[in-house]
Amino acid sequence: MKKKREVYRTSEVARAVGVHPNTVRKYEEWGFLPPVKRESNGYRIYTRYHMEQMRLARLAFHGGWPGGRIRKSALALVRCSATKDLRKAVRMAKHHIRLVQGERTQAEAAADHLERWVRGKAGRGRAAPKTIRAAAKTVDSTPDAIRNWERNGLLTVPRNPKNGYREYGGPEIGRLRVIRMLLRSGYSTMAVLRAMRRLDAGGKRLRHTLDTPGPEEDVLWAADHWLSTLSEQEARARKILAQLRRMERMQTAGIMD
């Protein structure tokens, strides 16, 4: 005997996932769920696919995102899964993990430079200086962003006396990493400028330099907090992939709709 298809009301989906029924309706409206059929009386009828897709969406969205690119990636993979193309969604989830890992790599390099900077050990280094394009690629930013940081007084870059071109050596690259990390973790340009000035003054009295709420929270705390945020984001990205693979298996077994 063929198993009867599982169907759910809006309230049942909401209760299972731990959200308000209006959230379920909004997710449908925004394209995060497949189209929902209605009964003759107008009530929505959700299937097992809707239920699992809602679990996926909550995994992806609950808690926000560290940065615009990660947010865009999460939105895209959930919308892809809503079309029931799970194979493509799995590929996108793997890319999403790599995106988060890349951000963690940048943050770890920034935190390492910041630690040395505070201790007065961020020397010139021996690496050949980079052009602005190469520097932007190294810190995963853009030349326009770097020029804007310079216009706002966040850094001063030495120039080659022969051709006048900016040259980004080790300290400049490290400074770019720190600026990028602090801006991406939500600090204003003025807050970052205060931090840069204190660091340039010798790394003393860094507390209260950033516009953080607690007296124990300083520049180093900001770096640790950002690394912790990205670590949590990577764990969430892996759960997203696991949920998509689970959905794939259920789809193959014919128990999703």
* pLDDT tier, 216 (very low <50, low <70, confident <90, very high otherwise): very low
Instruction: Give the integer Cα–Cα distance in Å for 236 and 223.
Output: 20
**Hey, which of 13-27, 154-168, 243-257 has the most confident mean pLDDT?**
13-27
Same fold yes or no, 1-59 and 103-218: yes
Q: pLDDT higher for 45 or 205?
A: 45
Mean pLDDT for the stretch of residues 101-119 = 87
3-state helix, strand, coil in the chain (%, to 5): 60, 5, 35
Instruction: Check: CB of residue 90 under 8 Å from CB of residue 243.
Output: no
Instruction: Give the integer Cα–Cα distance in Å for 142 and 139.
Output: 9
* pLDDT confidence of residue 1: 41
Domain boundaries, the chain: 1-59, 103-218
Mean pLDDT for the stretch of residues 132-138 = 95
- Does the pLDDT value for residue 92 go beyond 60? yes
* pLDDT tier, 191 (very low <50, low <70, confident <90, very high otherwise): confident
Q: In which element (H, E) is residue 37 found?
A: strand 37-38
Percent of the chain's residues with pLDDT above 70? 89
Please identify, in words, the CATH class of the domain defined by 103-218.
mainly alpha
* pLDDT confidence of residue 144: 96
Percent of the chain's residues with pLDDT above 90? 58
* pLDDT confidence of residue 126: 63
Q: In which element (H, E) is residue 53 found?
A: helix 48-61
- Does the pLDDT value for residue 124 go beyond 90? no
Of the options 3.40.109.10, 1.10.10.10, 1.10.1660.10, 1.20.1740.10, the CATH number for the domain spanning 1-59? 1.10.1660.10
